Structure 1
Amino acid sequence: MTSIALIGFMGSGKSTIGYQLASQNHRKFIDLDDEITKFEGREIATIFAQDGEEYFRHVEEKILNQFSEANVIVATGGGIVMNQNSREILKNCFHTIWLEVSYNVVENRLRLDDTRPLWKQSKEQRQALFERRQGLYEECADMRVSVNERSPNQIATEIEGSISFI
């Protein structure tokens, strides 16, 4: 069995859907952000503030690579596609599913979230970041699933119907 990676912009539901998918299919679920936090011993916002995004992306790549042959379901961070090496790992070592979400849905979901370093920008900057990443998600994805106005159960069911979990 191949490990599955869920990619998509922040707020697309990667962790929620990943957990549900793993539970329904008796596979281990890995939240990459949680693994990075454990590895570093500090929160992601602190890593960004103290060492910057480039350092964070390097650690993210290292942790992602550890699960490439682990037969797990991994919820990645929204910006994992910004690192070329991480994109190669996603394309070559995982069945990668893009949870595609509209910007308006993201904005609504994250309107009160102040924990995401790259969301703490102007609306124009957030929208530019969203648009910049879309092609990178597409480049890595083996499958694309729209998550707009759909429940985690509906999304997990669609993914299950498209992938063999045997």
Structure 2
Amino acid sequence: MILIGFMGCGKTTIAHELGLQLNKKTIDLDDVIPKIAGQPIPEIFAAEGEAAFREYEFQALQSILKENAIIATGGGVVTYEKSYALLKELTDIPVFFLNAPFDDLYSRIQKDDNRPLGNQDIEKVRGLYNSRLDKYSALADREISTSKTVADTAAEIINYIDDGNFKA
């Protein structure tokens, strides 16, 4: 399964919880990108810019899609046309859009040095969030709120799968 959503929505945390409960491997795209690029994410942004980062992100996504794993993507994966198209083509892997109220998301990402696009003025970050909402929704098989506990959020995803909507 693939988890998408804005920065701070809990993709990594929920992926880890799902991995424990389902006894499945988890892959965080943000861990794969530096291996492909040969440098940490903040350095990619500083040295090469966002466009280069998005291409590395696409390469990382492409390289791990065949793995039987729970994949946590980056918040902006939907903004790069090649990545968006790749995710849109998926028919046998469920895509979950993890979401929470914007103010919750912003408070979670504020002052996190590993989020180059999150360390901006609140209105700039709100603009990013709003510009991505339709894309998250268009790709998602199901939107899941992360306003509740990690365990409850994971349970909702597992229940959706258990109801026969997709294989885990």
TM-score tier, shorter chain, comes to over 0.9
Is the 2:4–2:75 Cα contact (8 Å) retained in structure 1?
yes
2:80 aligns to what? Answer: 83
| Structure 2 counterpart of 1:158 | 156
Q: CA deviation at 1:111?
A: 2.7
1:12-69 CA deviation, whole Å, 9 max, x = no partner? 0000000110121111100000111122221111001111111111111111011222
Gaps of 5+ in 2: none
Unaligned runs of 5+ in 1: none
CA offset at residue 82 of structure 1?
0.2
Matches of 2:83 and 2:114, distance apart in 1: 23
Give the counterpart letter for 2:145 in structure 1. Answer: S
Corresponding position of 1:58: 55
RMSD: 1.3
Aligned residue type for 1:68: L
- Aligned equivalent of 1:139: 138
What's the counterpart of residue 29 of structure 1? Answer: 26
Task: Give the Å deviation of 1:112.
Answer: 3.2
Kindly state the Cα deviation for residue 71 of structure 1 after the two structures are TM-superposed: 1.4
**Structure 1: 4+ residue segments shifted above 3 A:** none
Q: Report the count of equivalent residues.
A: 162
Which range is displaced more, 86-95 or 75-84? Answer: 86-95
TM-score of the superposition, structure 1-length normalised? Answer: 0.92
8 A contact 1:12–1:100 mirrored in 2: yes
Q: Percentage identity across aligned positions? A: 38
Alignment partner, residue 44 of structure 1: 41
Matched with 1:111 is 110
Tell me which amino acid in the other structure corresponds to 1:53: E
What TM-score do you get using the length of structure 2 for normalisation? 0.91
Contact 1:16 1:152 in 2 (8 A): yes
Secondary structure, in 3 states, of the residue corresponding to 2:85? Answer: helix
Matches of 1:81 and 1:101 in 2, distance apart?
17
What one-letter code is carried by the residue in structure 2 that aligns with 1:50?
Answer: A
Q: SS of the residue aligned with 2:117? A: helix
